[in-house]
């Protein structure tokens, strides 16, 4: 195993085989079946705070799978048909509104989380934190630096995202 990776589960001949849990150095976790040290059978890649990829694997390669966001919304691949969530000229409700219905009049829902996470005045909500335009940096909701967005992403954020 590489540095920082961890494995808990069944072994055969010194290799991961059977049911197990493999944690990558990034924090991503695979839970499922292994064969000769590879993902094989049913298994899920869990991305902390983002969602998970549920799949059937064969010798380390995906045979069939789908991504589910952390709020339970299943992504629809364009090859599988139209994705009717948040599309141009389509239903613009948040996924939580699809699940729990619309808010009463006067109680507007501005983000998928209700009430929305508080962000500093003059910054933009990016979904994983907030964008400080003057600094050209994105911080998590606790104020820790996340990334410097590309010029294209910064422009998109400033035109599309909720301002605090």
List pLDDT tens digits, range 80-139: 766 655 555 555 556 666 666 666 666 666 666 677 788 999 999 988 899 999 999 999
From the CB of residue 33, how many other CB atoms can be counted at a distance below 10 Å? 20
pLDDT, mean of residues 46-72: 88
Q: Are 62 and 43 in contact (CB under 8 A)?
A: no
**What is the value of pTM for the model shown?**
0.55
- The pLDDT-based confidence of 1 (bands split at 50, 70, 90) is very low
> CB-based contacts of 87: which residues, under 8 Å, 6+ apart?
none
**C-alpha of 115 from chain center:** 20
* 118-157 b/e (C-beta count within 10 Å ≥ 16 → b): ebeeebbbbeebbbbeeeebbbeeeeeeeeebeeeebeeb
- The three-state DSSP-derived secondary structure of 24-80 is CCCCCEEEEEEECCEEEEEEEEEECCCEEEEEEEECCEEEEEEEEECCCCECCCHHH
């Amino acid at each position: 195993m590489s540095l920082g990776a961890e494995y808990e589960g069944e072994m055969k001949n010194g290799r991961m085989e059977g049911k197990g849990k493999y944690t990558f150095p990034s924090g991503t976790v695979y839970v499922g079946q292994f064969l000769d040290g590879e993902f094989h059978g049913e298994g899920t890649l869990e991305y902390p705070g983002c969602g998970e990829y549920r799949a059937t694997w064969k010798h380390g390669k995906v045979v069939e799978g789908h991504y589910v966001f952390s709020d339970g919304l299943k992504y629809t691949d364009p090859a599988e048909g139209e994705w009717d969530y948040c599309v141009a000229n389509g239903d613009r409700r948040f996924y939580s509104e699809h699940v729990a219905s619309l808010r009463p009049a006067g109680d507007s829902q501005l983000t998928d989380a209700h009430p929305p996470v508080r962000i500093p005045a003059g910054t933009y909500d990016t979904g994983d934190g907030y964008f400080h335009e003057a600094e050209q940096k994105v911080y998590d909701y606790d104020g820790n630096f996340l990334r410097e967005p590309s010029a294209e992403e910064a422009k998109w954020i400033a035109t599309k995202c909720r301002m605090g």
